[in-house]
Amino acid sequence: MKIRSVYPIRYVAQQTGLSTHVIRVWEKRYKAVVPQRTESNRRMYCERDVQRLKMLKTAVKVGHSISQIAGLSAEELMQLVNLDGPDAPEVSPAREPGSLDSAYFYGRSLSAVLNFDAQGLESVLDRAAVHLSKMELIKAVIGPLCRKIGELWEQGKLKVINEHMTSSIIHSFLWNMLRSAEVSETSPKIIIATPAGHQHELGALSIAIVACESDWQSLYFGPGLPAEEIAAAVAYADARAVALSITYYENSHQLNLEIKKLRRYLGDEITIFIGGQGAMSLVDSFDAAEIQLLKDVDSFRIALNNLRKLQEG
Ligand code: B12
């Protein structure tokens, strides 16, 4: 009998509590569940796929590694899950000491970086994506990890290669997460970039994901974008707002000029949000009518919700 695959990925995410990002990564990397595809190439899952994903999630939660269990048959998985649960504690102390919270994943990521273990770092981040929300992951693992790396590098305790390895893994992890975010096509659009001359882009990628979490369509244009290009992107996409990430702190004439230019090109209708570790360098040069300087990703979410209400109401 042919099994009907009728569930789209969003529904499967709701049913399993896994994010669409994790479901796709488990498919791509481990072939954990390979759904059928529609003619337009959309993934469609059947009930058996949903049950399998639920079992995989339970097994990962008690400490099994997805790379080791992804190939198990349904019966083997069932046995594994029954051995460990359903009343088993969330974490099996024999396999994994400590609770699987953000502090745990931060610690594991840092030790992978210090050991120059690229695969280890990838796998810790993949596991963290199962246990933590995207906001927790960004605020309590990725941000602090990068700051710590900066500190260690400054003190000469870490090599540039460890930092480069970490940046490139985090970049592709965040990029995949952003690509797999699902936002309604009718949601308002926001352009995300870093200004010309600013090469740190992990903050920009993070806020692009945060905007999707607030149900905005993020159009991500990467680092070092001149004001005229940002303005062209806004016009092209009919975006409602721009968010710029500034990590490098400098009181530079060049940066002020870029932002003044952007304000001029965009007129009064488009909101410009600016944040990041270096954003406070702008505080004395702009007033609240020109740009909204935000201190963190939580204030960004509040500001996005307020703007949306204002524009819709
Ligand atoms: C990785 C890194 C790099 C990588 C970047 C790779 C990449 N693809 O992005 C590379 C090697 C390219 C790099 C280059 C440089 N770097 Co660097 N780098 C870092 C490091 C280690 C991590 C930064 C990072 O990505 N963090 C991760 C993200 C997720 O965190 P975040 O940016 O803070 O973003 C969070 C919040 O701030 C917020 N946020 C960010 N943007 C926005 C926007 C809005 C609207 C809102 C609401 C919130 C928000 O949300 C994010 C999630 O919570 C930091 C150390 C540190 N303390 O951060 C140094 C650091 C930032 N770098 C530094 C320096 C000096 C440089 C260089 C000048 C080095 C050099 N001599 O060439 C160049 C500058 C290049 C340039 N012109 O921009 C200094 C900056 C000092 C200063 N004056 O500000 C730091 C602090 C290192 C140090 N301790 O000295 N760097």
Question: Which of 173, 248, 294, 306 is the best mutation target for the ligand 1 pocket, counting ligand atoms within 8 Å of the beta carbon and taking the most?
Answer: 248
pLDDT of residue 101: 86
Q: In this structure, which residue's CA is closest to atom 22 in ligand 1?
A: 146
Q: Which of 33, 83, 27 is nearest to 58 (CA)?
A: 83
Asked whether the beta carbons of 146 and 111 are under 8 A apart, the reply is no
Residue 2: pLDDT band by 50, 70, 90 thresholds? low
The response to whether residue 134 sits with its C-beta less than 6 Å from ligand 1 reads no
User: pLDDT per residue over 283-297, tens digit each?
Assistant: 888 888 899 999 999
Which residue intervals of the chain bear CATH 1.10.1240.10? 102-179
C-alpha span between 203 and 201 (Å, rounded): 5
What average pLDDT does this structure show over 219-242?
A: 96
C-alpha span between 33 and 36 (Å, rounded): 10
User: Pairing state of beta strands 43-45 and 36-37?
Assistant: antiparallel
C-alpha span between 251 and 242 (Å, rounded): 21
Q: In this structure, which residue's CA is closest to atom 25 in ligand 1?
A: 202
Residue 48's φ and ψ, nearest 5 degrees, are: -65, -40
Residue 312: pLDDT band by 50, 70, 90 thresholds? confident
Token output for 150? 């900066």
C-alpha span between 56 and 72 (Å, rounded): 10
* Å from CA of 200 to ligand 1 middle: 5
pLDDT of 90 over the 60 cut: no
Contacts of 213 by beta carbon, 8 Å cutoff, 6+ apart: 134, 135, 181, 301
Q: In this structure, which residue's CA is closest to atom 56 in ligand 1?
A: 147
C-alpha span between 39 and 32 (Å, rounded): 22
DSSP state at residue 241? E
Q: In this structure, which residue's CA is closest to atom 80 in ligand 1?
A: 248
Stated pTM of the model: 0.83
Instruction: Give CATH for domain 102-179.
Output: 1.10.1240.10
Q: What angle do CA 18, 65, 7 make, to 5 degrees?
A: 30
pLDDT of 95 over the 80 cut: no
Q: In this structure, which residue's CA is closest to atom 57 in ligand 1?
A: 147
Spell out the CATH class of 189-312.
alpha beta
* Å from CA of 276 to ligand 1 middle: 9
pLDDT of 200 over the 90 cut: yes
Strand-by-strand arrangement of the 292-293 sheet: 217-220, 189-193, 241-245, 271-275, 292-293
The response to whether residue 277 sits with its C-beta less than 6 Å from ligand 1 reads yes
Which residue intervals of the chain bear CATH 3.40.50.280? 189-312
What average pLDDT does this structure show over 77-96?
A: 54
Which fold does the domain 7-84 belong to in CATH?
Multidrug-efflux Transporter Regulator; Chain: A; Domain 2 (1.10.1660)
What average pLDDT does this structure show over 109-115?
A: 91
Lowest-confidence region among 77-86, 150-159, 272-281: 77-86
Which residue intervals of the chain bear CATH 1.10.1660.10? 7-84
